[in-house]
Every structure is written in C-alpha cells, then in structure tokens.
A and B are shown apart, each in its own frame.
Chain A
Amino acid sequence: MSERVAIAGVAQTVFKPKRVDANYAELAYEAIEQVLDQCGLTIQDDIDNSITCSHDIWDGQTISNIGITDVAGGHLRNEEKMAMDGSTAVYYGAVGILSGAFECTLLLAHTKMSQTDRNIVNNDAFDPIYTRKLGLDYTSAAALQARRYMHRYGISPEQTAGVVVKNLGNAVDNPVAHNRGVFSVEDVLSSAVVADPIRRMDMAPDTDGAVAMILAGEDKARGITDTPVWITGIGTCYDAYYLGDRDLSECMALGRAAQRAYSMAGITNPRDQIDVIELGEEFSYQELLWLEGLGVCEPGGAAALLESGFTRRDGALPVNPSGGLLGGVPANVMGLNRVAEAALQVMGRADGHQVGGVKTALAQGHSGFCGQHHCVIVLQGGKEGR
C-alpha cells in the first residue's frame, strides 16, 4: 500500500516513419525489454499489473491487446488496455497503485501508423449519423480549431510556424525523434497546405514506435532507482463531442484537468512553479492553445510568450524541449511519450535535450479531435515530490 506513486523507469524505441522489420508485438517488446533491464525487474517477480495503450482500429486486430498479452506480462495476470491517449494510461496506473491494489505497474503504448491510413482511422472517430459522411478527420477538425483560435486572438501563421521551427530544432538533439532539422518560418509557410491553415510541417508525421514505463509505489520505487520521479498531480476531463457544441478556442476540459492536477500537487502559479512542459501538439497551433489552457498565460497570450523566447529550451519555461509530437511520435503513444520525456527531464536523463535544474515537470496529452479529452500529469523529483 502506497501513498505516493513514482515513475521508476522509462524506455522508448527509436521513432521511425515505417518499421517493416517488426510487428506491433515485437515493437512493444523492444521498449518493454529495455525498461525491465534498466530497472532490474522481471515480469514474474516484480510486475503485478500491466496497462497497455493502443486502438483496435490502428492495430487492425479486434481486442488488439491480444497481440501483446504475452510480451506485456499479461499471461495469467492482470492486463488492461486503455483505448485512449497514453497519458491516460499513466493516470489510470497511478490510480491503481494509490488504491492499494498494485505495487508495480508496467505501462506500454504502441502504434504502427504505417499499417493504415490516419485519415480513414480518424474519420471513424466521427459519429456515423451526422458528421462522418462530411469526411472530417482530425486534421480538418484541427483546421477549424486553428482558424477559430487564430481569428479570435489575431494569431498569424508566422506565429504558429514559430512553434514548428522551435520544436523541429529541439528534436535535432533528441535521439528518438525522426522529424527534425533547422528550419525557418519561411520553410514552414512554404510547405504544402493540408487543410488551411494547417500545412504539412504544422502536423505530427506518421510514425511507428512504442514507449514503456514502470510505475511503482514509494517503497518499491526507492528499491529500483535513486531518481524516482513522483507523480504528484493527475487530472482528466471530457469536453463536449460535437464541434458545434464547443467554442473551439476555449479550453474548458484542459483547464479542469489541469486544475485537478495542480490542486493535488499544490501548484497555484504554474508559470513560476513548473520548470518544463512536454505537451501534446499534434498540430503547431495546439502548443499555443494548450499553454493557455494550462494557465501558463492568459488566453491569446501564448504566441507572444513563444516570440519572447520564454518557451525555448534555454528559456524561462521550456516547452517541448524534446521536439514534441512534431518531432515524430505515433498516435496513442503520444501521451505516454509526453510523460516519458517530462520524467527524463526530472531524472536528468534527457541526453542532448536536457534542461537545467528541472524539479517540477508537467506532461499533457489529449484524446479525440480538437482535444475533447485532456489528461494532465505533474511530476516532481527529490524534495519537491514530498
């Protein structure tokens, strides 16, 4: 029984556009084997719960956790599939340990986007009666949200392109990212329009990969690592489904999810109290909108923060020093990768993209189009985790 939950280990495959050499179970096992080795754990002796994260429709298999039951340690044990963004798997894993039912949980998220067509998959997230036939997918829905947000606050395409330039530049130093390079705002604005105002470079690319993580109660975590990363705040929230039922420039669900996480973690001023943020910007404008939803600045104020250098890796509050989702992270895996990158920052293990002096980190992920469901995780190391 534990009052506190820690991330005790993190492992990620290298993310690539296409992994023809591995099926999804093999891909998953790459990450699982790494994290178990890193932590000195075995499934048989140490893991008492497994939570996996993917979607049948991406995997092309009904109840697709059947395909990874063995590698995820589910055989004759507890294994559950979170059919949402991977950040929510962290949330659910933490709940399980706080309940006293489990001590040491293996989290896994995996997806091979190369196996299918994201537009078809995402179109299936629209209801079959009213909206699917319109041909909407996450990208066209995001274009509506981007338009609304940019119109309301006078945000320019140059400003959203600034997110791309920053993140793809950050990704250069991230060994697992594949979409990276030193680009200019002009490069972004001259990439092809996919759904106006979203251009090719404004989008996270199709990617294959997996992330595995170990969550543990306090005693177990201290036995595994000298640098446990404490999960001190968690929150989720659903918004309304139909695009027309929401003002897409508002962040009700994200605000509520963040508020729950902040009140657990004792955060009253996120801008001052958080040292680094890894958030889910599937599209460039989302980095700005989500920062506002997280209360880092006033609504409409994130573009100015970006331009001031505040969110650069060497800025006052680095956002997506890993390169974020634009650097190339698979659907579903996105949120677990966000939490993993935030945890690596707290552990001081973020290789070339490490930020100095990280004590408190925030990770955010979302499920559904235009961020209908949000999950916020606050991580703290050392004394701050108390």
Chain B
Amino acid sequence: MKRNVAVIGGGQTRHAARRHDVNQVELVNEAVRAALLDARMTIDEIDTVLLGNMEFFEGCHMTDCWLADGLGAYGKPGLKITTGGTVGATIVSAGAHHVASGLFDTVLCVGFEKQEEGDTGAILSGVAHPLYGRSMAGAAVGYFAMMATSYMAAWGAREEHSAMVAVKARQNARKNEYAHLKLDITVQDALNSRMLAYPIRMLDMCPASNGACAVILADEKTAGDRCEKPVWIRAMDTAHNEQFELDWRDVTTRKPIFSKTSAARLYRQLGVSNPLDYFDVFEIYEPATWAEMVWYEDLGMCGPGEGFRMIEEGKTAMDGPHPVNPSGGVLSTNCIGASAMLRIWEAALQIRGDAGGHQVPGDVRRALATAYGGTNWTVLTALSRDLDD
C-alpha cells in the first residue's frame, strides 16, 4: 500500500445477550465514543466513517442510514460493507485502503450486531442456497457438528479436547471486563452441558451477543503526531471459499482452502516461515471450539491433526508459550459484525500492553488476528508495535 496505516485508537461496548438499555444507534454510539476517548479525538477530527453489519440479523434494511447519527457519520463521507462474520476485519481493511489512498488521514471503522432483535439460528440457515441447501440447513451448529465429527474421526481427538477449548475461552473471558460469557467452568461442566447437535454442546458454541466495536485508523504522520502507542497494520489478506466446495469440512482435505491459502499469502508478504516464532499472540475467530483447533493447523501453528495436542499441552493458554484468544475470543463474545474487529482490536491492545486483566505475560511485538464468516471466508490481519519490525 502507498501509505503506512496505524490503529490509533479503539473501543468496544459491554457485550451481553440482552442490551435492552440501548437501541442499535445507541449501541454503536457507545463504541464510537469509547474509540474517540481512547484516541483523544473528537468526531470532527474523523475524515470518514465505515460500517460493517449484516442487515438480516436485526431485520433492518440500510442500517448505515439509520445509524448515521450514532456513528458520527452525519455530513461525512462513508459507506457500509457486509461480508458476514468477516465484516469487522473487512471494514478495517477498507479503512486501511482509505488511509493508504491518500484521500483520508483518519478513518473511523465500526462493526456491530444486536442479535437479540432477530433470530440468529433462522438467519444463519438463510445463508444456505435457497434451492439446494436451505431445506436441510443447520445454521452454524450443524456445520460445526460436521467439522467436529470429521476431526474426531480423522485425528482421534475426543470431546474432552473440545471442552478444554471451551474452558480456556470462558476462563480468559473472566479477566476481560467487556466479555459476554465470563464463566467459571471446568472441563466436566463443558462435557455436561446440553447437547445441541453431536458432538457440539452448549458450551462448545459461541453465544449470540449484542455489541459493537470501533477502531480509528490513521496515516503515519497523524499517528506520529497524536498517538503514543500506534499499532501498525503490517499486512492483510482476504480469501473466500465459494459456497459448495467446503459445505462440510473434511479436515483432512488437501485442496487449497480459504484459511491456508490466505495464511500462505500473508506469511509471504511478511516473510514469515514459522508463525509461532513470528507472532507473540493470536486472536482467532472461533465460533465453535473445534474451529479453534482447526485454525491452529490451518495457520501452520502445528501440523495437521496436532491442533488438539496444542490445547492438551496448554501451549495456547494465556500464560502458555503461544497465547490464543486471551480476550476469551468469539466463544465468549459473538456480536457477529463486531467479532472480527474485536479480534484486531484485542490484538492491538495486547501490543500496546493495554489489555488489562487479560494482558499476556510476555512481551508482545507482533500479533495475528483472523476472521471467519460466510461460507468459509476469512480476512487475516498482522499487526506490529514497530513499523520496521
């Protein structure tokens, strides 16, 4: 890109299953105000506002229009993009392009979902093709049940491994003041939770959260002038799988798929040979426990079939050698349009050393954030503390 781009501020709402205290406009405004406060800016200093959200989840057409006032977009240039669960990262990517183009110095990026106003399961079933897939669509739970059984059959992982991921996420979330599911649970609790679709149990799935996230991006000069701890966007990559090829996930597939393809491209941009050596912390979009273990493998953090060993050995614990989702991740908070942006914002907080109770113990110079949505789509974002690192 033509100009370097930094995250110079950000913020998020309190995430919860019920936010009856705010409407959608007020919800996004909570995140926008938090981001402006963090960046010590006023809305007048923002050049353009970009929104990510999926209109079906709230049953509102043209959400950007309704939310314009809450976003601070009145009288400003801006736009709205929808790419499913990836959209929070897509909006950051769009924001980075706006800054890099030289047309804008400061960009406010916002993602949100207020899922209580719709029926998430029904809406996710609407993802399936209206002619070929919808009559048997099982929403996200059905998809991840197939991924999980494939994983267990192929690699010999057990339900206990899934439970370990479930526990790690919710115990990490207890240290994150904004997280939705802050649960003091054990592996046994996870294994005893209600079965949704074998082997996916209640605690193996993300919640349906209400929440918003906002980040402010700026060019190098603005970042240098007014931000003490800018976090640099070093590389981003997007890859989508078309809808039928991966409509159930055979975890042993050797076909090029979205996650591996995107990771390979991102690592090539950065000159990364071993992601575990390069990145100090990972924020991964895991709508279900099994997806986290598959991400370890797809990102090359371990070999095929070794993801469940990583969780078993505690390698990705908050105080482990390669912390994954110290924030509690999507398993603890999933306000869909915000979730991918939260990964990036939480990764930036780790680099800044500002993650508070869930700051990882080691030095964080570089972080990787993933997004996950659509029919196996991703946006990967690599962040660093130093521009020339």
Contact = CB atoms under 8 A, between A and B. Distances in A.
Interface of A: 1, 23, 55-57, 60-63, 65-67, 69-70, 74-84, 88, 91-92, 95-96, 98-101, 121-122, 124-125, 127-129, 234-241, 252-253, 256-257, 260, 367-369, 372-373
B192 to A, nearest CB: 32
A127 B62 CA distance: 10
A98 B103 contact: yes
Contact of B256 (A70, A76, A237): A76
Contacts of B256: 76
B75 A80 contact: no
Interface in B234-263: 237-243, 245, 256-258, 261
A91 B204 CA distance: 41
A96 B131 CA distance: 34
B56 A56 contact: yes
B73 interface: yes
A356 to B, nearest CB: 33
Interface in B42-84: 49, 54-56, 59-62, 64-69, 73-84
Q: How large is the interface on B (under 10, 10 to 19, 20 to 34, 35 or more residues)?
A: 35 or more
B98 interface: yes
Interchain residue pairs A-B with the least CB separation, the first 3? A99-B100, A368-B65, A62-B126
B66 A127 contact: yes
A9 to B, nearest CB: 22
Nearest to A71: B242
Given A65-B374, A92-B94, 20 more contacts: A56-B55, A56-B56, A60-B130, A61-B129, A62-B125, A63-B84, A63-B373, A95-B97, A96-B97, A98-B103, A99-B3, A99-B97, A128-B60, A129-B23, A237-B76, A237-B77, A241-B66, A372-B68, A373-B65, A373-B78
B20 interface: no
Contacts of B54: 56, 62-63
A224 B131 CA distance: 38
Chain A CB within 10 A, most for which of B49, B69, B82, B127: B82
Given A121-B61, A129-B23, A235 B77 contact: yes
A383 B237 CA distance: 36
A128 B374 CA distance: 26
A84 B64 contact: yes
A241 B79 contact: no
B214 to A, nearest CB: 16
A378 to B, nearest CB: 14
Interface string B87-122: 000100010111111110000000000000100000
A100 B131 CA distance: 40
B270 interface: no
B64 A69 contact: no
A81 B101 CA distance: 20
B289 interface: no
B101 to A, nearest CB: 4
Given A63-B82, A236-B79, A57 B55 contact: yes
B76 A238 contact: yes
A1 B2 CA distance: 7
A124 B60 contact: yes
Contacts of B90: 80
B351 to A, nearest CB: 22
A240 B68 contact: yes
Interface in B11-61: 23, 25, 49, 54-56, 59-61
B274 to A, nearest CB: 23
Contacts of B25: 127
A220 to B, nearest CB: 16
28 contacts: A55-B55, A57-B55, A57-B56, A63-B56, A66-B243, A69-B241, A69-B242, A69-B243, A69-B374, A76-B239, A76-B257, A78-B238, A83-B55, A84-B62, A88-B79, A95-B98, A95-B103, A98-B103, A100-B2, A125-B60, A127-B23, A127-B60, A236-B77, A237-B77, A238-B49, A238-B78, A239-B75, A372-B68
A101 B1 contact: yes
B239 A69 contact: no
A84 B127 CA distance: 20
Contacts of B73: 238
A159 to B, nearest CB: 29
Nearest to B97: A99
Contact of A67 (B77, B129, B261): B129
Interface string B122-144: 01111101110000000000000
B339 interface: no
Contacts of A101: 1, 97, 100
Chain B CB within 10 A, most for which of A74, A76, A127, A241: A76
B82 A83 contact: yes
A121 B123 CA distance: 16
Given A55-B61, A81-B82, A75 B374 contact: no
Nearest to A79: B240
A128 B117 contact: yes
B75 A76 contact: no
Contact of A66 (B61, B238, B375): B375
Given A1-B2, A56-B54, A241-B69, A99 B79 contact: no
Contacts of B79: 82, 84, 88, 91-92, 236
A88 B96 CA distance: 17
A234 B374 CA distance: 30
Contacts of A240: 68-69, 74
B74 A69 contact: no
A61 B128 CA distance: 8
A98 B60 contact: no
Contacts of A238: 49, 64-65, 68, 73-78
